[in-house]
Chains A and B, each alone.
Chain A
Amino acid sequence: MIQEHDSVIVQTLGRVVIPLAQLFGLYVLVFGQHGPGGGFVGGVILAMSMILSILIFGQDGADSRLARKVLHGDGLGLLIFAGVGGLCLIGGGQFMNYASLEVPGLDEPSRRYLGILLTQVGVAVDVGVTGVSIALSLSSSEKEEVSHV
């Protein structure tokens, strides 16, 4: 069980840094096709921002409610990833062949672009939820309230 950090400096800095980190994570996730980054890194950065809010504002703090809510999405990323592959099946092609995503008005390279983007979102959701879940289960296995953090 992680308690709230009692330093004002840490809390104020956390309120500034955490939204910036989340914005940067989203940027890395969406921009992964034009630069370094992608789903895995973006998901880890998003998970890090949520773990940071748990460490600063405590596990039950009002500011880390996003991190608690995110835990309900376990497996959602995997569903998105495999679901995009299944949509390709419905479109009449092979599994994971994004050229048969049935999106009207898009040519084949744009469909592949869309497929890559959607699967990257899936990987990011999966990695982010897993990171927060591992951090929370690591911190909940303490025997007594040692109040280190």
Chain B
Amino acid sequence: MSPLASLETGLFLGLYALLAGIWGVLWALAQLRLMPIVAGSAVAACVLHVLAAVTIVLWTPLGFGWKCLIVGSSLAFLVIPPITWRLLRRTHDNERSEHDRQPSQHSRRLVVRL
């Protein structure tokens, strides 16, 4: 790897991860605030992240295995926010409904007798 390529690769990797984070935050915010501009920004961040991934795959001198890792990570980055959100909502909804149904048993579940 040439000196410049190593520096560029490092920067692209950082940008790649940063855009994944921005995508995650904006996506989550878009669920909270139903504003088109937030949802649009999330999509833009997602597209930029994918572009960063494509750039790393096509333009950096990383080996084939590492490029596969980048693609795989990208897929994971893209699905983590929706999956996390769904799990969070489900857990909160379950907790709320069970709490409403059986308040007296609520605390019993919390501790495990030794």
Partners in one complex: no
Interface residues of B (CB under 8 A from A): none
Interface residues of A (CB under 8 A from B): none
